[in-house]
Amino acid sequence: MKYNIQHSKTLIVSNIELFLNYCMRFYDRQFITRTHITTDILIRFENLLYDYFRSGKSQDLVLPTVTYCAEQLYLSPNYFGDLIKKETGTTALDYIQTKLIEEAKEKIFVSNKSISEIADELGFKYQQHFTRLFKQKVGATPIEFRNQN
């Protein structure tokens, strides 16, 4: 009798595994078959980040998060994160941080504001967090970057 129970467990586990594999294939396929939709979402995401920094929302709302961006695009944070990862090869958070650093470079390069003021404009509560992220992404501190350019 024990053999039958073990055999049944093996069949059940095997069927569950098969079902989950089908689910993953279906989930992955939606990113492939909806290229025009995902392209539209990426464009809207780019525009959202652009507007976020240009409107001054970063001073009021702090840094843009994956959840914030997903909500603005009417997507779940998990789906949004998966979509960005599939389309860009980076996580949504890394993508947001890269755009944030691009914005920071522009501000450092064209303005005479202090690093602290720039960090505040971008939504950082503490300049140290801004400096740490900047150095991690660029390889130089904001002051070193300003002096090099």
First to last CA, the chain: 78
Which secondary structure element, helix H or strand E, spans residue 65, and what is its range? none
Amino acid symbol at 4? N
The reported pTM is: 0.70
Question: What is the sign, positive or negative, of the torsion defined by CA atoms of 131, 104, 99, 89?
Answer: negative
pLDDT tens-digit readout, 6-44: 668 888 888 888 888 878 887 777 665 555 667 788 899
Token pair, residue 92, equals 């949504």
Q: Residue 141 has what DSSP assignment? A: -
Torsion of CA 43, 44, 48, 49, to 10 degrees: -30
Token pair, residue 118, equals 């720039």
pLDDT tens-digit readout, 99-127: 999 999 998 988 788 999 998 888 888 88
Q: Is 78 in contact with 115 (CB distance < 8 Å)?
A: no
The CATH architecture of the domain made up of 35-148 is Orthogonal Bundle (1.10)
- 50 or 2, higher pLDDT: 50
